[in-house]
Chains A and B, each alone.
Chain A
Amino acid sequence: MNEFSRRGFLGLAGAAGVAGLAACAGTGTAPSTGSGGGSSNTIEFWSNHPGNSKPVEQQIIKSFEAANSGIKVKLVDAGKNYEEVAQKFNASLAGGQLPDVVVVSDVTWFNFALNKQLSPLDELLSGASIDTSDYVDALYNDYNLDDQHYALPFSRSTPLFYYNKDLWKAAGLEDRGPKDWDEFLTWAPKLKAAAGSDKIVMELPDGSNYLDWVFQNMVWGYGGAYSKEWTPTFSDPNTIKAGTYLQNLAKDGYLKLAKDPAPDFTAGIVGCSMMSTGSLGGVAKDAKFPVGTAFLPGDGNCPTGGAGVGIPANISDDRKKNALKFIEFLTNAQNTVTFTQATGYMPVRKSAVELPEEKAFLEKNPNAKTAIEQLPKTRSQDNARVLLPGGGARIGKGLDQIVQGQDVATVFKGLDAESQQVFDSQIKSKLGA
């Protein structure tokens, strides 16, 4: 009895060992090109449903299936945010079973494109005779690498200047946003006096929550930049000027950073903020005071953001064709209107604004109108933030340090060096190859 079970156990242990080894060797058999799983008449759409958009996505999918009999679309919950979609997509790249259409954000698409994991779309687009000139230029060109586009804009947002109209009135200011940051500085003492000691004039997201995104506006406003093409320009005198401005705002007690300014702003504790257009619906619904929105200070200094949709590289041509058909449908004028009205994102097509239902919508929602009118004044973000791996987090950390009072020039010099080093080691060799 004893002897038997000992042997039995040894056998079991052996089997377990083999299973364990097999589990470790999972990456050994990557699928070859064109066989990344899936069938050609079911489109798998990996989305994080930006802005709680699952019902709208389902609605668009339904009408797509009705218009294209024989093609099914499977909507997959691919994560709670863009980073998680990227993570799941990454895992599928190692293990096969690729999606047909995947949501990629302004920060995550580039790495996939650079490593040839996303399909360049231009050839496919001209093959399907899709006119890309109707896409809002700044949004369309965000996905450009070596004159190839790797995604089409889908859930796109920009920051907006939000302000508390009650506070503005109390401070005796005109009902509008500041023309530029210098003007804001002349407003700040009045706002502070009106706000009282327990309220904050301006709250921005901190460095781990997109301060680097909204600060892009200040940098451009002072004529600086994070980078010119691939050369980091943090040490540029104008960039440093913007950094010093940010630091002084904090030093003078006008600015506070928070993980998410939206709750404080809607609670009425904060006078103004720069937040995504995606927050518009929620803020308007929650706030118990009149909310004002304005263009970001300055002219043509508004960074774009949000996400587009791309097609993986290693799937069959048939699947790619179907995927593109779906993407075109998803982002056409009619559907971009449906989608953006439900979420607060920007319509990605120029002709969308001409549609009667969009006109009626903007008539009723002047704050949404601000966002759309700002759209032509947007500018694609600097490479050092969106295209360099870890760029956003790196810059955000530096900005946090500045706000805490560290020397601006020193911090920015460090950012220059780090960005350059990341570029040299991770990007340079892959460019133009």
Chain B
Amino acid sequence: MSTPTLVGTVDDERTPRTATKRRRGREAHSVEASTHNRGPAWTAAGYAGMVLIVLVVAVPLFWILITSFKERGDIYVRPAQWWPDPATGENYRELTTRIPFVDYLRNSVIITGATSIAKIVLGVLSAYALSLLRFPGRSIVFLVVIAALMVPNQITVISNYALVAQLGWRNTYQGIIIPLAGVAFGTFLMRNQFLNLPGEIIEAARLDGAGPMKLLWRVVMPMSWPTLVAFALITVVNEWNEYLWPFLMSDDETTAPLPVGLTFLQNNDGVTNWGPVMAGTVLAMLPILVLFLFLQRQMIKGLTAGAVKS
């Protein structure tokens, strides 16, 4: 709490005249309040910065959204059209008729769901073992896991393909899901989280007779909720957007997820009709957006729960 006050004071001492002016300019404000503020110029700059960042993030999204409602001839025009006129649902209709959108969506949900659950469960369990259980060779196992983190999946793709193809798993859900279920990143992230937990609490739980699983569920997990949610969110988003592996494994819409399916709207030699592509992008974004809004609340709840205690 002391830092902002201090900065405010220094600020005031250095520029007493502007500070006075500032105070005069905003008569309604108390002296105390003004010591916490940085002046209208700074505030304006702050807002300008925020607006700029929002624009950088939001304009492309906005563009995707309006393009998905435009007629084909209105997409490439100059000056640019900032509002679909006339608006049309044609792109969404074309999206569902030109590619089997529902099939791709179903595959995406199945693959993302299964892979994410596998990753989260494996990540938590392995991180728990590597941080709080003691067994010989623990650090070596951890090193191997970390080493796996260093190998980009583009490199292992060919050998994975060979293995899965020989199992006869091409164009099957398990062929796509199982090789994706490895979790070096989750192990790493959750292990660091678990190591940061106060040792006294863990020790107390053990003294009270909590077994390893009870310790995990009743003590470790509740304290690690925000990290877990963040990890889960990252995992789900990554899996939802995963392209290379599902593309190699799937042959058609019986197993291919959305990112693969949407590419078939693009014309690979000639002019792409971007309307349906944008419509597909919008629909592909929605589930993740909803999930994010839901999990974000959980994340904040977890964060504040930790902050006000002790």
**CB–CB A23/B270 < 8 A:** no
Which one of B76, B133, B144, B166 lies within 8 Å of A29 (CB-CB)?
A: B166
Give the number of residue pairs across the A-B interface with Cβ within 8 Å: 152
Q: Which of A10-51 contact B (CB under 8 A)?
A: 10, 13, 17, 20, 22-27, 29-31, 37, 48-51
Query: Once the chains bind, are A88 and B248 in contact (CB under 8 Å)?
Result: yes
Stretch at the interface among B256-264, B281-289, B292-300: B256-264
- With a CB–CB cut-off of 8 A, which chain A residues contact B78? 267-269
Interchain nearest-CB distance for A37 vs B (Å): 7
Task: Tell me which residues across on chain B come within 8 A of A37, comparing CB atoms.
Answer: 165
Could you mark each residue 148-183 of chain A with 1 if its beta carbon is under 8 Å from any beta carbon of chain B, else 0?
Answer: 000000010100000000000000000000000000
Interface string of A94-106 (1 = CB under 8 A from B): 1111000000000
Segment from A185-193, A283-291, A350-358, A391-399 that makes contact with B:
A283-291
Give per-residue flags for A242-263: 1 if the beta carbon is below 8 A from chain B beta carbons, else 0.
Answer: 0000000000000000000011
Within 8 A of B (CB), among A71-122: 74-77, 79-82, 84, 87-88, 90-92, 94-97
Shortest C-beta distance, B272 to chain A (Å), equals 7
Q: Mark interface residues in B243-258 (1 if CB within 8 Å of A CB, else 0).
A: 0000110111100100
Tell me whether B308 is interfacial, beta carbon within 8 Å.
no
A276 and B269 CA atoms in complex are apart in Å by 7
Asked if B224 is at the interface (CB within 8 A of a chain A CB), the reply is no
Query: A residues within 8 A CB of B196?
Result: none
Q: Is the CB of B211 within 8 A of A27?
A: no
Across the interface, do B212 and A24 meet the contact criterion of CB distance under 8 Å? no
**Inter-chain pairs besides A49-B264, A276-B269, 14 sampled, C-beta below 8 Å:** A5-B133, A9-B135, A26-B159, A31-B166, A51-B269, A75-B252, A77-B251, A95-B163, A95-B165, A266-B271, A278-B269, A282-B272, A286-B72, A344-B270
Q: Is B250 touching A77 in the complex (CB atoms < 8 A)? A: yes
Report the count of interface residues on B (CB-CB < 8 A): 49
Cα–Cα distance between A343 and B267 once the two chains are bound (Å): 10
CA distance A79 to B308 in the complex (A): 52
Interface residues of B in 151-199 (CB under 8 A from A): 156-166, 170, 179, 182
A303 at interface by CB-CB < 8 Å: no
- Chain B residue numbers with a CB within 8 Å of A280 are 270
Residues of A within 8 A of B268 (CB): 48-51, 80-82
Contact residues of A between 351 and 391, Cβ < 8 Å to B: none
**B141 at interface by CB-CB < 8 Å:** yes
B139 at interface, CB cutoff 8 A: no
Minimum CB–CB distance from B164 to chain A (whole Å) comes to 7
Query: Chain A contacts of B157 at CB under 8 A?
Result: 91
State the Cβ distance, B92 to closest chain A Cβ, in Å.
Answer: 18
Contacts of B265 in A (CB 8 A): 52
Q: Which positions in A face B, CB cutoff 8 Å?
A: 1-2, 5-6, 9-10, 13, 17, 20, 22-27, 29-31, 37, 48-52, 54, 74-77, 79-82, 84, 87-88, 90-92, 94-97, 155, 157, 262-264, 266-269, 276, 278-283, 285-286, 288, 306, 343-345
Among B133, B161, B265, B269: residue with most chain A CB under 10 A: B269
Q: Looking across the interface, which residue of chain B has its beta carbon closest to that of A95?
A: B162
Q: Please name 8 pairs of A and B residues whose Cβ atoms are closer than 8 Å in the assembled complex, sorted by A.
A: A6-B135, A23-B156, A75-B252, A79-B263, A94-B158, A96-B162, A278-B269, A285-B72
Q: How far is the CA of A1 from the CA of B307 in the complex (A)?
A: 35
Q: Is the CB of B270 within 8 A of A13?
A: no
The answer to whether A13 touches B264 (Cβ under 8 A) is no
Given contacts A77-B256, A286-B73, contact A9 B271 (CB under 8 A): no
* Chain A min CB distance to B108 (Å): 15
Tell yes or no: B202 within 8 A of A by CB: no
Name, among B135, B161, B170, B211, the residue most crowded by chain A CB atoms within 10 Å (CB to CB).
B161
Q: A88 to B179: give the CA distance in the assembly, Å.
A: 17
Chain A CB within 8 A of B44 CB: no
Chain A residue at minimal CB-CB distance from B78: A267
B129 at the interface (CB under 8 A from A): yes
Query: 4 closest Cβ contacts across the A-B interface?
Result: A282-B271, A95-B162, A26-B163, A80-B263
Alpha-carbon distance between A9 and B212 when the two chains are bound, in angstroms: 11
Say yes or no: A80-B135 contact (C-beta < 8 A), given A51-B269, A91-B158: no
Docked-complex contact A94 and B159, CB < 8 angstroms: yes
Given contacts A80-B263, A88-B247, contact A95 B161 (CB under 8 A): yes
**Complex formed: what's the CA distance from A82 to B269 in Å?**
10
Contacts of B253 in A (CB 8 A): 77
B270 and A77: CB pair below 8 A?
no
Partner of B161, one of A22, A82, A94, A267: A94
| Pairwise interchain contact A26-B252, C-beta atoms closer than 8 A | no
A73 to B28 Cα, complex, angstroms: 80
Which residues 99-150 of B sit at the A interface, judged by CB distance below 8 A?
129, 133-135, 141, 144, 148
Q: Could you tell me the distance between the alpha carbons of A169 and B156 in the complex, rounded to whole angstroms? A: 58
Tell me the complex Cα distance, A285–B267, Å.
14
- Indicate whether B5 reaches chain A with its CB closer than 8 angstroms: no
Which residues of chain B are near A97, meaning CB under 8 Å? Answer: 165, 170
A95 to B162, CA, bound (A): 3
In the assembled complex, the Cα of A110 lies from the Cα of B48 at a distance in Å of 55
**Of the residues A6, A27, A82, A91, contact of B248 by C-beta under 8 Å:** A91
A254–B106 alpha-carbon span in the complex (Å): 50
Q: Which residues of the partner chain B approach A54 to less than 8 Å between Cβ atoms?
A: 264
Once A76-B251, A79-B247 are accepted as A-B contacts, the answer to whether A30 and B271 lie under 8 Å apart by CB is no
Residues of chain B within 8 A of A268, CB atoms compared: 78
Of A26, A27, A37, most B-chain CB atoms within 10 Å = A26
Min CB distance A281 to B, Å, is 7
CA–CA, A2 and B268, complex, Å: 59
Cα(A180)–Cα(B179), bound, Å: 56
Are the C-beta atoms of B271 and A95 separated by less than 8 Å? no
Closest to B265 in A: A52
B20: interface (CB < 8 Å): no
Bound complex: CA A167 to CA B86 (Å)? 28
In the assembled complex, the CB of B180 is this many whole angstroms from the nearest CB of chain A, namely: 12
Interface centre among A1, A9, A269 (most CB of B within 10 A): A9
* Nearest CB in chain A: distance from B258 CB, A: 13
Contacts of B141 in A (CB 8 A): 13
Q: What residues on A are CB-neighbors of B251 within 8 Å?
A: 74, 76-77
Q: How far is the CA of A98 from the CA of B53 in the complex (A)?
A: 49
B202-222: CB near A (< 8 Å → 1, else 0) gives 000000000111000000000
Task: Give A81 to B211 CA distance when docked, in angstroms.
Answer: 55
Q: Indicate if the CB atoms of A25 and B159 lie closer than 8 Å.
A: yes
Closest to A98 in B: B165
- Given A51-B267, A288-B73: A2 and B212 interface contact (C-beta under 8 Å): yes
Partner of A23, one of B159, B248, B260: B159
When C-beta atoms are compared, the residue in chain A nearest to B122 turns out to be A16
List B43-85 residues whose CB lies under 8 Å from chain A: 72-73, 75-78
